Structure 1
Amino acid sequence: MTDTVSYAHAVVPTGDDRTGLAADLAALRDAVVADGEARRAAFAAAHGPIGPGIANLADYLALRRHDIRPLQRALMARGLSSLGRAESRVLPTLDAVAVALAALAGRPAPVEAPGDDAFFAGERLLAANADAALGPRPAGRDTRIMVTLPSEAAGDPGLVLDLARRGMDIARINCAHDGIVAWEAMARAVRTAGEIVGRPIRVLMDIAGPKIRTEAVVAADKARRIVVGDTFSLVAGGTPEIVGDAVAAASVSLPEIVTRIGVGDRVLYNDGKMEARVEAADGASALLRVTRVRAGGVKLKPEKGLNLPDTALGLSPLTAKDIQDLAAVVRTADMIGYSFVSRPEDIDLLETVLADTGLVPPSLGLVAKIERPEAVANLPALMARVAGRRPFAVMIARGDLAAEIGFERLAEMQEEILWLCEAASVPVIWATQVLESLVRDGLPSRGEMTDAAMGARAECVMLNKGPHVGTAVDVLDHLLVRMAGHVHKKTPMLRALGAWSPSDA
Structure 2
Amino acid sequence: MSSSSQKRYEEAIQQVDVIIANCIDMELHYQGLINKVHPSHRASACNLIHYITYRNHISTSLKRFLFGKGLSGLKNAEAHIMASLQLTRKRLHQLAHDEVPPPIETAVTFKKAEKIAKRNSRQLLGNKSKKRNVRIMVTQPSEAANNSHLAAQMMRSGMNTVRINCAHDTETEWLQMIRHVRAGMDTMQKHVKITMDLGGPKVRTGAIQHGPKVAHLRPERDDFGRVIDPGKAALIAEGQLFPDEDNIYIPIPSTALRNLLLGEDLSFQDTRGKKRLLRITEIEGKVIWVHGYESAYIQTGTEMTSSQSNQTFAVGEIPPLEQYLLLKKGDHLTLHKEQTPGEPAKYDRDGNLLQKAHISCTAAEVFEDVKAGERIIFDDGKIIGYIHENTGDELEIKITHAKDLGTKLKMDKGINFPVSRLHISGLTDKDKEDLKFVTKHADVINMSFVNTTADVEQLISELDLLGAKSHIGVVLKIETMTAVKNIVKLLLSAMQLEKVGVMIARGDLAIECGWQNVGLVQEELLKICRSAHIPTIWATQVMENLAKKGVPSRAEITDAVMAQKADCIMLNKGMYILEAIQLLDTILINTEKAHWDKKQFFKEMAY
- Do they superpose with TM above 0.5? yes
Find the counterpart in structure 2 of residue 464 from structure 1: 572
Find the counterpart in structure 1 of residue 549 from structure 2: 441
Matches within 5 A, 1:48-63: 48-50=35-37, 51-63=42-54
- Stretch moving more, 439-448 or 40-49: 40-49
Secondary structure of the residue that 2:555 maps to in structure 1?
A: helix
| 1:354 partnered with 2:463 | yes
CA contact (8 A) 1:231 1:246 kept: no
CA contact (8 A) 1:98 1:111 kept: no
Measured after TM superposition, the shift of residue 364 of structure 1 is 0.7
- Stretch moving more, 192-201 or 204-213: 192-201
TM-score (norm. length: structure 1)? 0.89
Q: Distance in 2 between matches of 1:223 and 1:238?
A: 16
Q: Label 1:190 to 1:99 Cα distance change in 2 as closer, same or farther (>3 A).
A: same
| 1:373 partnered with 2:476 | no
CA contact (8 A) 1:95 1:111 kept: no
Q: Distance in 2 between matches of 1:137 and 1:482?
A: 15
Find the counterpart in structure 2 of residue 41 from structure 1: 28
CA contact (8 A) 2:48 2:528 kept: yes
Q: Distance in 1 between matches of 2:406 and 2:24?
A: 53
Q: Distance in 1 between matches of 2:439 and 2:92?
A: 53
Find the counterpart in structure 2 of residue 236 from structure 1: 337
Which one has the bigger helix percentage? 1
Q: Distance in 1 between matches of 2:465 and 2:470?
A: 14
CA contact (8 A) 1:218 1:250 kept: no
* C-alpha distance after superposition, 1:196-225 (max 9, x if no partner): 222211100101111211113479xx8873
TM-score (norm. length: structure 2)? 0.75
- Amino acid in structure 2 at the alignment position of 1:282: T
Matches within 5 A, 1:181-330: 181-217=172-208, 225-239=326-340, 247-293=356-402, 296-330=405-439
* C-alpha distance after superposition, 1:463-500 (max 9, x if no partner): 0000011100011001111121244xxxxx45435415
- Amino acid in structure 2 at the alignment position of 1:406: G
Q: Distance in 1 between matches of 2:503 and 2:36?
A: 24
Q: Distance in 2 between matches of 1:36 and 1:99?
A: 17
- Amino acid in structure 2 at the alignment position of 1:112: P
- Amino acid in structure 2 at the alignment position of 1:78: K
Secondary structure of the residue that 1:337 maps to in structure 2?
A: strand
Find the counterpart in structure 2 of residue 501 from structure 1: 604
- Amino acid in structure 2 at the alignment position of 1:234: L
CA contact (8 A) 1:86 1:93 kept: yes
Q: Distance in 1 between matches of 2:337 and 2:188?
A: 50
Identity over the aligned pairs, expressed in percent? 33
Find the counterpart in structure 2 of residue 332 from structure 1: 441
Secondary structure of the residue that 2:358 maps to in structure 1?
A: strand
Q: Label 1:233 to 1:154 Cα distance change in 2 as closer, same or farther (>3 A).
A: same
Find the counterpart in structure 2 of residue 490 from structure 1: none
- Stretch moving more, 119-128 or 178-187: 119-128
- Amino acid in structure 1 at the alignment position of 2:497: R
Matches within 5 A, 1:90-109: 90-109=81-100
Secondary structure of the residue that 1:328 maps to in structure 2?
A: helix
CA contact (8 A) 1:207 1:325 kept: yes
Q: Label 1:44 to 1:292 Cα distance change in 2 as closer, same or farther (>3 A).
A: farther
Measured after TM superposition, the shift of residue 314 of structure 1 is 1.3
Q: Distance in 1 between matches of 2:588 and 2:358?
A: 45
* C-alpha distance after superposition, 1:225-250 (max 9, x if no partner): 31222221101115357697875210
Q: Distance in 1 between matches of 2:112 and 2:158?
A: 29
Find the counterpart in structure 2 of residue 5 from structure 1: none
Find the counterpart in structure 2 of residue 64 from structure 1: 55
CA contact (8 A) 2:538 2:568 kept: yes
CA contact (8 A) 2:336 2:358 kept: yes
Secondary structure of the residue that 1:304 maps to in structure 2?
A: coil
- Stretch moving more, 331-340 or 112-121: 112-121
Q: Label 1:332 to 1:110 Cα distance change in 2 as closer, same or farther (>3 A).
A: same
CA contact (8 A) 2:27 2:46 kept: yes
Q: Aligned match of 2:111 in 120, 130, 137?
A: 120
Q: Distance in 2 between matches of 1:186 and 1:132?
A: 22
Q: Label 1:498 to 1:17 Cα distance change in 2 as closer, same or farther (>3 A).
A: farther
Q: Distance in 2 between matches of 1:16 and 1:225?
A: 72
Q: Distance in 2 between matches of 1:482 and 1:118?
A: 29
Q: Distance in 2 between matches of 1:341 and 1:246?
A: 38
Which one has the bigger strand percentage? 2
CA contact (8 A) 1:95 1:114 kept: no
CA contact (8 A) 1:231 1:245 kept: no
Find the counterpart in structure 2 of residue 423 from structure 1: 531
